[in-house]
């Protein structure tokens, strides 16, 4: 449990990229939603998933190629633990791994880490990309059409879009 408003204020306050751009808070909000629905179904650590949503793109220097932004985000998250949120060492290790690897196109056997990656990839529709199923968990695959429509339209679709 943490104070979302306080964390957001801190993260947005230090952001170097445009708040209204492709990697800003509206993206984080969709990542948060996807992460929570998928994470609940696969037994992910939802605290880690939430923190990933708010922090994973927080250290971008630009909207394009910035291969170290995940590593910087992981370092930043460590400075905020016990200040703006409280997670255990094991949770921080998951968060660090999820952030460091989130833009490398890998898949992971850990449900928390893969949920974070699913959630981020499901919002690729905002840059015109529909994620390939092989980069998503089985649960994540069910949300491809729903998430794509949301990313493109900016309006959350009905859950009837979700594949059974
Ligand atoms: Fe992202």
CA of 3 from ligand 1 middle (Å) equals 21
Average pLDDT (99-112) is: 96
Q: What is d(CA 27, CA 20) in angstroms, rounded to the nearest whole number? A: 9
Condensed to tens digits (0 to 9), the pLDDT of residues 42-56 reads 999 999 999 999 999
Q: Locate tokens 């992460």: which residue?
A: 35
**H helix intervals, the chain:** 4-13, 25-42, 46-55, 69-80, 89-100, 111-121, 138-141, 144-153
CA of 23 from ligand 1 middle (Å) equals 6
Q: Is-contact 25 8, C-beta < 8 A?
A: yes
Measured CA to CA in angstroms, residue 71 lies from 23, 41, 64, 131 at distances of 16, 28, 16, 23
CA of 86 from ligand 1 middle (Å) equals 22
Condensed to tens digits (0 to 9), the pLDDT of residues 75-104 reads 999 999 999 999 999 999 999 999 999 999
Condensed to tens digits (0 to 9), the pLDDT of residues 6-57 reads 999 999 999 999 999 999 999 999 999 999 999 999 999 999 999 999 999 9
pLDDT for position 162: 81
Condensed to tens digits (0 to 9), the pLDDT of residues 124-149 reads 999 999 999 999 999 999 999 999 99
**Which residues hold their Cβ within 5 A of ligand 1, which is an ion?**
57, 120
CA of 51 from ligand 1 middle (Å) equals 12
The domain segmentation of the chain, as residue ranges, is 4-161
pLDDT band at 159 (very low <50, low <70, confident <90, very high): confident
Checking if the pLDDT of 161 tops 90, the result is no
CA of 131 from ligand 1 middle (Å) equals 13
pLDDT band at 160 (very low <50, low <70, confident <90, very high): confident
CATH code of the domain occupying 4-161: 1.10.3210.10
- The pTM is what? 0.96
Q: Is-contact 76 62, C-beta < 8 A?
A: no
CA of 120 from ligand 1 middle (Å) equals 5
Q: What is d(CA 133, CA 38) in angstroms, rounded to the nearest whole number? A: 14
């Amino acid at each position: 449990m943490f104070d979302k408003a306080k964390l957001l204020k801190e993260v947005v306050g230090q952001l170097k990229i445009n708040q209204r751009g492709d990697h800003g808070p509206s993206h984080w909000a969709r990542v948060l939603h996807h992460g929570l629905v998928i994470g609940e179904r696969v037994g992910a650590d939802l605290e880690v998933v939430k923190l990933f949503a708010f922090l994973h793109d927080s250290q971008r220097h630009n909207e394009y190629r910035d291969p170290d932004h995940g590593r910087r985000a992981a370092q930043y998250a460590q400075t905020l633990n016990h200040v703006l949120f409280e997670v255990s060492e094991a949770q921080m290790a998951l968060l660090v791994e999820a952030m460091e690897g989130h833009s490398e196109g890998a898949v992971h056997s850990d449900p928390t880490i893969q949920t974070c990656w699913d959630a981020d990839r499901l919002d690729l529709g905002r840059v015109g990309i529909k994620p390939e199923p092989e980069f998503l968990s089985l649960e994540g695959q069910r949300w491809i059409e729903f998430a794509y429509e949301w990313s493109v339209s900016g309006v959350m679709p009905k859950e009837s879009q979700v594949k059974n």
